[in-house]
Amino acid sequence: MGSWKGIIEHYRSRLEMDDDSPVVSLGEGNTPMIFSERLSERTGLEVYLKFEGMNPTGSFKDRGMTVAITKAVARGAKAVVCASTGNTSASAAAYSAKAGILCVVLIPAGNVASGKLAQALVHGAKVVEVRGNFDQAFEITLKLEGPYPIVVVNSTNPHRLLGQKTGAFEVCDGLGRAPDYHIIPVGNAGNITSYWRGYREYHADGVTQNLPQMFGFQAAGAAPIVLGHPVDQPKTIATAIRIGHPASWDNALAAAKDSGGEIRAVTDKKILEAYRLIASEGIFAELASSAPVAGLLQLAADGRVAKGKTAVCICTGHGLKDPSWAISGAPKPVQVDAQMDVVAQALGF
Ligand code: F0G
């Protein structure tokens, strides 16, 4: 028993940790895996939503960041840098603040949700808005590491992927087995790579007896892996996955192929519908996080998944990071005078 101390303490033996390095943690991991009655009913599967928005900075990035920052500090780093569509920068900023080191973030100007930008700023990161897209900011970030004393904490940093595989361990620990279908959004493709590693590790060690089929979903306007070529001007309302040159492209393809799954695309319209659908069941996940739900519905409609099986969708980030979509699509609240009878009348009582 005892309180949860974060993924490094919980899965230490699987994370290549030196026992004497101080751990930089904000208590990440142990996120809820919520049974979805509505999605289960609609698809005939047993559907769970792993709500990664419940991590300390509101996204799955914290799993990788606790390991990346812990390892960077152990090596004496005083500064880290990342390019980001928003969540990586929010997480890097928070864990750097906890460690007392400098965090530099490069973000595509005008294409990061305001909540994510607020997070980077409030934690004291040095924020550089690049006039370009994520892919261009990422290319610059990688070039900074050689000549300058700064560690890149994007998912090309192997410690990020190490930490993120703990999501797969938690899914298996929660279900008592691996799911039949694992469904996840794909941007730079690090997370699908990590999950597949995590599932294979548990399987190889005999913790689980089965492996899931891995289904990754890109937004249709930013679907380089599905198209088979890079996309120089990716377009989607799901800005978190607005990426045209994914770094872990080959690993994502291998995860899908080796598991009998696929990388597919969903339209922005379907993403928005899925966003509202899970919100109507109490889960406020950001647009990119709704892509796997749209994906599940697509798989079910295509008969690609079998009824009675178990599916886990990874809802990667919290909807509060970008409330504009929630507000713009909802009816405007009525405004009334501060009198009980007027309120009652407005409610139709
Ligand atoms: N979902 C959310 C909410 C994300 O923020 C990201 C990536 C993904 C899914 C895709 O994960 O890149 O491992 O395939 N966000 C990165 C960022 C790119 O900078 O925050 P991936």
Residue-wise pLDDT tens digits, 224-277: 999 999 999 999 999 999 999 999 999 999 999 999 999 999 999 999 999 999
Question: What's the pLDDT band for 341 if we cut at 50, 70, 90?
Answer: very high
Query: Going by CA atoms, what residue is nearest to atom 3 of ligand 1?
Result: 317
Cα(191) to centroid of ligand 1, in Å?
8
In ligand 1, the atom with minimum distance to the C-alpha of 164 is 13
Q: Is 187 in the pocket of ligand 1 (CB under 6 A)?
A: yes
Instruction: State the closest ligand 1 atom to the C-alpha of 84, by its place in the atom list counted from 1.
Output: 19
Determine which residue's CA is closest to atom 6 belonging to ligand 1.
Answer: 240
Ligand 1 nearest-atom number relative to CA 185: 9
161 lines ligand 1 (CB under 6 A): no
46 lines ligand 1 (CB under 6 A): no
Residue 65 Cβ < 6 Å to ligand 1? no
- Is the CB of 133 within 6 Å of ligand 1? no
- Span 41-94, pLDDT tens digits: 999 999 999 999 999 999 999 999 999 999 999 999 999 999 999 999 999 999
Q: Are the beta carbons of 216 and 184 closer than 8 angstroms?
A: yes
